[in-house]
Structure 1
Amino acid sequence: MAVKDILLLGNPLLYKKSEPVGKEELNELFPQIHIMFDTILEFREKYGVGRAIAAPQIGLLKRIICLNIDKPVAMINPKLSDLSNELFEMWDDCMSFPNLLVKVRRHKSLTLTFFDLNWEKQVWHLQDDLAELIQHEYDHLDGVLATQRAIDDKSFRWKI
């Protein structure tokens, strides 16, 4: 299993906006995508949680999200649309700050459009926990961490 260290809160690369992936780049990015999937599994083994990772979290400033819930799915150049007006509050965690929780507000539902590893366009309609997860990972692509979305200055707590 090939893994990379996950960049931690405070690393300047986490605050940079990622570049889109060109179709011609996809083959050369396959090894990095596989490393992202392995990194999710290693994190899950260590912490008991972990469903997705964004490329900037391993220092790759490309618009890629890797999700592994039932099976591995790579999302290339994801775009969010149709974000619901309805919001909900939740305690968010992150692989870049594994022992910290941050209370944030997220949209209850959305539409996610992306290219898969065959460069075929996918459209998913997500709600609740998957909508929240994708918003979290999408923020990473724009250099935004959950800590920056905290509801207020009392919206932080340690995981126990």
Structure 2
Amino acid sequence: MAILKIARMGHPVLLRRADPVADPTDPEIHRLVADMAETMEDAGGIGLAAPQVHVPLRLFVWRGGAGNVIALINPEIEKVGEETESAWEGCLSIPGLRGSVPRAARIRFRGVDIAGKPVEGEAAGLAARVMQHEYDHLDGILYPMRMTDFSLFGFTDELSRAAARAGEGEKA
């Protein structure tokens, strides 16, 4: 396994629609998934899409609820219902920044795993948010493109300091 270089905002691979994976069982795809999992772990992320490691293919990995890394190949995602939630997001391709992003509260997903077996289900909460974020990468969309309030966008350390100051003010 290997740690892969993460593409940063501005690189063209992040702005194009990724290509479908022809054969999910190909050993090269297995190697890519393993390397992506290791890269995600090393970078402290909870999700990583193939375009983020300079590979324009439709697959992503994320850390599931039990802590295991899950890969979804050639995914399709659709929202369930009209409810949306806004929450803070960061991205390994946009280091040091965070923003509040509105997303569907619940989603339905389907795709295949590295054995080529169909995978499908529904997700809510953090899992739904991570999957939508990574899926966006497959379509050339970065989270700031989804933001509706840029007053809720900034450097992680500045946002943390502001939150701490606000918390101190509430205690007084």
What is the Cα-based RMSD across aligned positions, in Å?
1.5
Show the 5 A alignment for 1:114-133.
114-133=111-130
The answer to whether the 8 Å contact 2:79/2:104 transfers is no
Which amino acid in structure 1 is aligned with residue 51 of structure 2? P
Q: Which has the larger radius of gyration?
A: 2
**2:49 corresponding residue in structure 1:** 54
Asked if 1:144 is matched to 2:147, the reply is: no
- Deviation, 1:114, is 1.2
Structure 2 residue runs without a partner (length 5+): 158-172
User: What secondary structure, in the 3-state scheme, does the structure 2 residue paired with 1:23 have?
Assistant: coil
Aligned residues: 155
Q: TM-score, normalised by structure 2?
A: 0.85
Which amino acid in structure 2 is aligned with residue 155 of structure 1? L
Question: Could you say which structure has the higher helix fraction?
Answer: 2
- Deviation, 1:28, is 2.4
**2:167 corresponding residue in structure 1:** none
* Consecutive aligned runs of 4 or more in structure 1 exceeding 4 Å deviation: none
The answer to whether the 8 Å contact 2:24/2:115 transfers is no
Asked if 1:68 is matched to 2:63, the reply is: yes
**1:47 corresponding residue in structure 2:** none
- Work out the CA distance in 1 between the residues paired with 2:78 and 2:127: 14
**2:84 corresponding residue in structure 1:** 87
- Work out the CA distance in 1 between the residues paired with 2:12 and 2:79: 31
Moved more, 20-29 or 9-18: 20-29
- Work out the CA distance in 2 between the residues paired with 1:82 and 1:99: 29
The change in CA–CA distance for 1:2 and 1:83 in structure 2 (over 3 A counts) is same
Which amino acid in structure 1 is aligned with residue 116 of structure 2? W
Structure 1 residue runs without a partner (length 5+): 45-49
Identity of aligned residues (%): 28
**2:132 corresponding residue in structure 1:** 135
The answer to whether the 8 Å contact 2:29/2:114 transfers is no
- Work out the CA distance in 2 between the residues paired with 1:25 and 1:122: 14
The answer to whether the 8 Å contact 1:40/1:68 transfers is no
Q: TM-score, normalised by structure 1?
A: 0.91
